[in-house]
Chain A
Amino acid sequence: MNISQRQAGDVTILDVSGKITIGVGDVAIRDAVQVALGGGARDIVLNLKNVSTIDSAGVGELVSAYTTVTHRGGKLKLVNLPAKVNDILQITQLITVFEVYEDEQAAVDSFRH
Chain B
Amino acid sequence: MPVLEPEAFLAVASRFENIELVQAVVDDLLVRLQLGEEDRHWIGLAVREAVANAIKHGNGGDPEKQVECEVKLEGDEVVVTVRDEGKGFDPSAVADPLLPENLLRPGGRGIFYMRSLMDRVEYHFGNRDRGTEVVLRKRIKVAGDARAQEETRA
Contact = CB atoms under 8 A, between A and B. Distances in A.
B107 interface: yes
Nearest to A62: B106
A22 B16 contact: yes
Contacts of A57: 52, 107
A56 B98 contact: no
A9 to B, nearest CB: 28
Nearest to A30: B106
A55 B103 contact: no
B104 A56 contact: no
A22 B50 CA distance: 12
B71 to A, nearest CB: 19
Given A21-B48, A55-B48, A92-B98, A60 B104 contact: no
Interface residues of B, number: 21
A97 B109 CA distance: 16
Contacts of B49: 55-56
Contacts of B17: 23-24
Is chain A's binding surface mostly helix, strand, loop or mixed?
helix
Nearest to A23: B16
B88 interface: no
B141 interface: no
B97 A63 contact: no
A22 B116 contact: no
A93 B103 CA distance: 8
A99 to B, nearest CB: 14
B113 interface: yes
A21 to B, nearest CB: 7
Interface in A46-101: 53, 55-57, 59-61, 63-64, 66-67, 84, 91-94, 96-97
B112 A92 contact: yes
B106 to A, nearest CB: 4
Given A22-B52, A24-B16, A92-B98, A53 B41 contact: yes
B45 A97 contact: no
Contacts of B45: 53, 55
A63 B112 contact: no
A84 B52 contact: no
Interface string B110-144: 10110010000000000000000000000000000
B106 A60 contact: yes
Nearest to A61: B106
Rank and list the top 5 A-B pairs by shortest CB-CB distance, nearest first.
A23-B16, A60-B106, A56-B109, A64-B106, A56-B110
